[in-house]
């Protein structure tokens, strides 16, 4: 073993400990969202703080610096003879070390403790529709996030620093320009849709058995390829996916008997995330590379399965007989074409996770603009509820009557995920562009679904996206897969083609 090989092996040994501590922290957080007793939150917040403190110690261990110096590595190209994967490992581990080494352990522990308590406060406030009870917690979270950002890079816009945690290389101003153009295109389409014939959908407003929803959701997850021997499905207030190890990828969902599509598409969406995690290449296991390259790319996988596949006519041609059998009391007189159009109805709504494909990105644009303003100090926490209402009036033409359906509906800000929201809309854009590349190689997606060749779809995603983990940066991966930079035109083209069929002119 030469000196370079030995140094990289030393870095990977350090990284293995960091990775496992991260999985332990994820297990504690997963349990908090699923099975933790109500009164155990204080002890859990201390446990999470302790683990994250240990995690931070391992990330900034002096041995990292020694080994990087030994390699002569400063974030640029790797040493001669190092392969693509090890170069990527050096890039990602150096970036993390360089950033985290600036952050005091005291702040890491405080952020973990505060966000754990804040999350519980958010859940309680949402249930009681009491924003004033949550406001002090949100203010504290924002202060800590801004402190963290300024420590990491005092010369940068704090929002850009936080955004980079989730979408490496992205800038707030660039996202703002992208979203302005996207909003204009979506607004044009929405106006066309609203002049068309609205599909009948009263049958979706009836009660649907939660037990049967869960039964169908599991069937569809299995069809997609989600491996329940390496994962599981549980319930939580806010659906999410977490990785506790290479063979332990867990998804959660939620059900409402009066919102059957919400539970169904939550199942598909989270299984899409789970498939990405389960598909990461075995050679990347136990390292920083065994993860999605960005949350925008990650979201592209869940949005692809949820919308491009799950809301398609071929999907329902296949699955409607089983679905209508389970819910015969509601669907006995409803044919598959009517059901398909109802599934794709476009109706501006207050709740992000229940939004249709066309209006969903408006929800993200609103959150992006508000969180940037909050972090910059241009919007106070006290004024957030009214700013939220104004934003919904302006972009979607509707206004929430309470904060539970307004600024309290999402968990993200309570746990410090500032800069996370833009990745949802970016996921829509990546999904459409990846789909075009897939169809160029495999043929129309609808034919693959109709001919029960969903395994070929998953195989293409495994080969081109999942297996690479974080080896490639998001922009580089997009260019490798599609031959082009990210372009919202693919998404707008997809929506216009689909909804011209769903909504015939009146």
Which residues are catalytically annotated? 270
Among positive and negative, which fits the CA dihedral 484, 487, 489, 492?
positive
Asked if residue 220 lies in contact with residue 399, where contact means CB atoms within 8 angstroms, the answer is no
Q: Which of 473, 202, 489 is nearest to 481 (CA)?
A: 473
Nearest to 276 by CA among 309, 242, 238: 242
For 239-285, give the DSSP string.
--EEEEETTEEEEEE---TT-HHHHHHHHHHHHHHHHHHHTS-GGGT
CA 196 to chain centre: 32
Helix (H) or strand (E) holding 234: strand 231-235
Q: Specify whether the CB–CB gap between 122 and 134 falls below 8 A.
A: yes
Helix 422-442 crosses helix 172-194 at what angle (to 10 degrees)? 70
Q: Pick the closest to residue 393 from 348, 443, 425 (CA basis).
A: 348
First to last CA, the chain: 73
Helix ranges, 101-209 (H) = 105-128, 131-152, 158-166, 172-194
Measuring CA to CA, which residue among 307, 235, 227 is closest to residue 271?
A: 227
């Amino acid at each position: 073993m030469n000196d370079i090989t030995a140094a990289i092996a030393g870095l990977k040994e350090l990284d293995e400990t960091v990775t496992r501590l991260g999985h332990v922290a994820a297990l504690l957080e997963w349990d908090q969202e699923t099975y933790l007793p109500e009164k155990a939150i204080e002890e859990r917040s201390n446990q999470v703080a302790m683990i994250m403190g240990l995690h931070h110690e391992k990330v900034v261990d002096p041995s990292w610096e020694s080994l990087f110096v030994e390699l002569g590595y400063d974030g640029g190209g790797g040493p001669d003879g190092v392969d693509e994967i090890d170069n990527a490992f050096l890039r990602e581990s150096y970036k993390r070390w360089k950033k985290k080494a600036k952050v005091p352990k005291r702040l890491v522990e405080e952020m973990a403790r505060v966000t754990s308590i804040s999350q519980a406060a958010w859940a309680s406030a949402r249930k009681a529709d009491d924003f004033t009870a949550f406001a002090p917690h949100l203010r504290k979270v924002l202060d800590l996030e801004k402190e963290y950002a300024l420590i990491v890079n005092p010369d940068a816009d704090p929002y850009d620093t936080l955004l980079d945690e989730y979408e490496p290389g992205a800038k707030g101003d660039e996202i703002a320009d992208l979203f302005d153009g996207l909003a204009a295109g979506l607004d044009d389409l929405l106006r066309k849709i609203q002049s068309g014939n609205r599909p009948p959908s009263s049958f979706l407003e009836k009660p649907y058995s939660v037990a049967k929803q869960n039964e169908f959701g599991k069937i569809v997850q299995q069809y997609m390829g989600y491996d329940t021997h390496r994962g599981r499905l549980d319930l939580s207030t806010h659906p999410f996916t977490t990785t506790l190890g290479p063979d332990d990828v867990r998804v959660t969902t939620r059900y409402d008997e009066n919102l059957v599509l919400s539970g169904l598409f939550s199942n598909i969406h989270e299984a899409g995330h789970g498939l990405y995690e389960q598909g990461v290449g075995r050679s990347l296991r136990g390292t920083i590379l065994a993860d999605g390259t960005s949350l925008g790319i990650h979201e592209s996988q869940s949005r692809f399965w949820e919308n491009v596949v799950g809301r398609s006519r071929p999907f329902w041609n296949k699955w409607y007989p089983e679905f209508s059998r389970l819910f015969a009391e509601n669907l006995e007189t409803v044919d598959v074409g009517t059901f398909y159009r109802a599934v794709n109805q476009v109706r501006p709504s207050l709740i992000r996770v229940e939004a249709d494909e066309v209006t969903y990105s408006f929800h993200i644009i609103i959150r992006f603009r508000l969180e940037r303003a909050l972090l910059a100090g241009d919007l106070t926490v006290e004024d957030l509820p009214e700013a939220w209402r104004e934003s919904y009036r302006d972009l979607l033409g509707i206004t929430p009557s309470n904060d539970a359906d307004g600024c309290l509906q999402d968990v993200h800000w309570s746990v410090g995920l500032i800069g996370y929201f833009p990745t949802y809309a970016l996921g829509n854009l990546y999904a459409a562009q990846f789909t075009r590349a897939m169809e160029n190689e495999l043929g129309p997606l609808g034919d693959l679904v109709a001919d029960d060749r969903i395994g070929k779809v998953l195989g293409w995603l495994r080969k081109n996206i999942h297996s690479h983990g974080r080896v490639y940066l998001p922009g580089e991966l997009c260019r490798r897969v599609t031959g082009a930079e990210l372009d919202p035109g693919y998404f707008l083209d997809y929506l216009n083609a689909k909804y011209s069929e769903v909504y015939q002119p009146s």
